[in-house]
A and B are shown apart, each in its own frame.
Chain A
Amino acid sequence: MSGDHNFDKSKFGYVFNIQHYSVHDGPGIRTLVFLKGCPLKCQWCSNPESQKNNPELAYNFNKCIGLDQCNRCLKACPNGAIKKSAGNEITIDRQECDSCFKCADACPSHALNVFGNLMSVKEVVDKVEKDSVFYSRSGGGMTLSGGEALVQAEFTTGLLKEAKRRRINTTIETCGYANWESIEKAGQYLDNILYDIKCLDPSKHKEFTGVTNELIIENLKKLRERFPKTAITVRTPVVPGFNDTEEDILAIIKFIKDIQNVKYELLPYHRLGEPKYTYLDREYPFSGFTSVDDERMTLLKKIVQDKFQQ
């Protein structure tokens, strides 16, 4: 199923998680839909399972009960890609794996798990709408997240359109790195936009995220102009060693001051995503860095408070 790209991209897409009761990503109590794929490769990324477009096999050895108890995955794999490791655990030979995911189906403890399910617009919005009773009290709704939802632009627009038809409040969390047409299309169905501006220095931006920031900056300006009534919150994930200086934050404040009617928030970087790199047999590019300390965060938040009129 993973290799199957012959589906209607406006009706189907790859989702790797649907999370209920999210309270920090848009107004009210929200349901977060995480879509696969991302044009950036941020070194600190906390959702490495989002980066690739297609479903991926993950192995959480903490959940594995060990080969002395169970070898169902070994037996299930038609390619011999699952091998006994030095200890009691397994390793996945990712070269040999053709992503049939039969092993995950056989795994009793969900130690082997697939990130990314092909879902229809209807399936996703049905799940989101289940929490409708919470949205009516809290003003919440659906938030699309990722990865970058706009990588699956047609699917994203489909989801947003369907949500609006069902009177569900919509939000997107975006890195802004997408072609303008797809942003514009999605924008028609959005109530709120959470827009990441990570750093204004293009070369530093490229070094840490893999892309430069011109398109991102341009798109934000265009968005504001094209959708003057949509609530936009600019957000900066504060990452030590990348953008945690006063200068970095002041530069961003200076830039967004010229954009009408946006809010601004700082988010502290966290390392919660780190174990997931191991599950995917990848290196955590940012290892060695620590979380932002509270003191620094307070200082930067104070700068925002003083220098930026919300």
Chain B
Amino acid sequence: MFDINLFGLFGQLLVGLINGSFYALLSLGLAIIFGLLKIINFAQGALYMLGAFIAFLALEYLGINYWAALIIVPITVGLVGIMMERFLIRPIANEDHLYSLLLTFGLALIIQGAFTHMFGSSGLSYAIPEELKGGNRLPFMYLPNYRAWIIVASVLVCFGTWYMIEKTKLGAYLRAGTENPQLMQAFGINVPLIVTLTFGFGVALAGFAGVMAAPVYSVSPDMGSNILIVVFAIVVIGGMGSIGGSILTGLGMGVVEGLTKYFYPEASTTVIFLVMVIVLLLKPAGLFGKEA
């Protein structure tokens, strides 16, 4: 177990980083929705699954290829999110967090159940786009081009999002609008619109992750529920609502999980929760969270 093969280890680190990219995309969406809107969105996993399915259906029935799907699917999923926020979440916006949690959890079950009913549980396959087929032989492993693309794309999207929220004027409006809605409204800014759009954006990130995942994982109704709990743990580790924290934690936990798969695979699904327990004990607000 401990004859460490350095090349093998590098391989595992890289693979972990790739998985971490998905975690980062999904936890970023959750962190935005929670950090800015204080909504615990349990439907994020189902919307990720929805993204993968829309990409599949678009290719199958409309001939829309992967690259177009990368733009169209997040917008479509974002629109679904906007409808959700406007018609379902807003009526209970002033209630306890628990209400939005239960509502979105219920929605996730409904969406997943509907897709199992329509498409079965076996999963569908989505081919890797021609341009990204093949791969490169690195000294320590064979790196498929598509996996390299996953890292590049998700890092770009994650840090672009972080920059927009933390460093631009638009981001400042957004943070202010959720911090003190009355004041912002007095300045003539349409706060409910901002809330809806933010929710739509957070959800669109899940849709984007879904398209990214379709070529490498089996497109199946339960793909979202498998990953959601892990992603929630990551958000908790990073600090509920911390935008940058969720990105870094997502990537980091991918690596931790990758290493566990190398040293003791049986624990790979639990290690993140173990980290979560330790972090909560030592730093209840999470690694990057502000102490209340």
Partners in one complex: no
B→A interface (CB under 8 Å):
none
